[in-house]
Every structure is written in C-alpha cells, then in structure tokens.
Amino acid sequence: MKLLVVSDSHGDRDILVTLADRFTGQVDAFCHCGDSELPADDPVWKNYHVVGGNMDFDSSYPVSQTVTVDGKRIFLTHGHCYGIKQDLTRLALAAREAKADFAFFGHSHELGVVETSGIVFLNPGSISQPRGQYASLGGTFALVTSTGDHTTIEFCTRDGRTIPELTVTYGGKTKHGSKDI
C-alpha cells in the first residue's frame, strides 16, 4: 500500500492538482488532513479522502473519518479538535477506538511521525505554510509505504523531492530514523 498525505494547503488548490496529476497511478490513495480553505464540493476532492480543519468553513467536511486501504485502517483528522498542539493523547484514544493502523493529522504545520502502541501518527507538515524546524524546506507532504509489517514514511518537498534524512521506517520492533512529533 502506498499513500500520499498532505495537509494545510490554505487555498493553494494548484498544488493539490499537481500532486494528484503527478502521483495518480503511483499511490493507492490521497489523504488531505484539512485546512484546504476550498469548498467541500470542489472537483479536486474526487482524488482525495479529506477532512475539515479549523479554517474550513464549509460544514460539509467531516471532522474525522476512518478509511481502509489495502486492509489498513487510517484515522484521518485535522487535529484541532483533538488538542494535538498539547499532546497526542486524545488523538491516540480516537485512533484506538477506530482500530486504526495509522492516524494522519495536520494543524500544527510541523512535520513529524511517531509510532506508539502499533499506530503510526503522522503529520505531513503544511504544503503551503510550513512552520518549525523544517520550515525552510518550503512546504512538505508525505508518502507512506506499508508492506507486511514494515512501514516507511518519506517526507517530500512541494516539487516531489524526497528528503532522505527525514525518512523513517518502522517494522516489527525495529525503528530506523526518527522525526518525533
């Protein structure tokens, strides 16, 4: 299974179209973690699983959703309703309740990934307004590849360039690399 995860595009519709055009046929699903600032019925969403964020004022967006791709359950949310800027406790409880393998979220605009109790928590950062330690990269998204019990997260720049030093692989009890949230 391969997924593209993006968040916090804040009105930058063109980058969502560019990512869909570039990666269609290369990934099994696209996930957007909110704050697109686009209407919920925008045609760009035909390619994406999407949730609403605190800057999405269209009430048609769900706050969260759980999707299954290749047998893996993904809990998708923006994070503002789960207090992710304080800690991941409320998000972890919701992800466990959803029996999720992955919890994807945004809101902080800071990329990070951590695996806890068998769930991979991933914030791809903001594609349009990055913050924090990696803001100089100019916007990021993530590619998640899961085969068997191994999962690799690659963080990429807006132009699709993988940042090798940020790549993290989880498998069984082994973790290589770390970009903790």
Q: Where are the domains of the chain?
A: 2-176
| pLDDT for the residue numbered 174 | 46
pLDDT 10s per residue in the chain (181 long)? 999 999 999 999 999 999 999 999 999 999 999 999 999 999 999 999 999 999 999 999 999 999 999 999 999 999 999 999 999 999 999 999 999 999 999 999 999 999 998 999 999 999 999 999 999 999 999 999 999 889 999 999 999 999 999 999 998 544 545 555 5
165-180 exposure pattern, b = at least 16 Cβ within 10 A, e = fewer: ebbbebeeeeeeeebe
Model pTM score = 0.94
Give the HSE-up count for residue 55: Cα atoms under 13 Å, Cβ half-sphere: 15
pLDDT value of position 153: 98
Alpha-carbon distances, residue 33 vs 54, 69, 101, 149, 180 (angstroms) = 11, 16, 16, 24, 18
Centre a 10 Å sphere on the Cβ of residue 68 and count the other Cβ atoms it contains: 11
Provide the 3-class DSSP secondary structure of residue 75.
strand
* Two structure tokens written together for 161: 């360039």
**Superfamily for the 2-176 domain:** Metallo-dependent phosphatases (3.60.21.10)
**E-state strands within the chain:** 2-6, 29-32, 48-50, 64-69, 72-77, 102-104, 112-116, 119-123, 140-147, 150-157, 168-171, 174-176
- Position 177 scores a pLDDT of 52
Tokens of 40: 């919920």
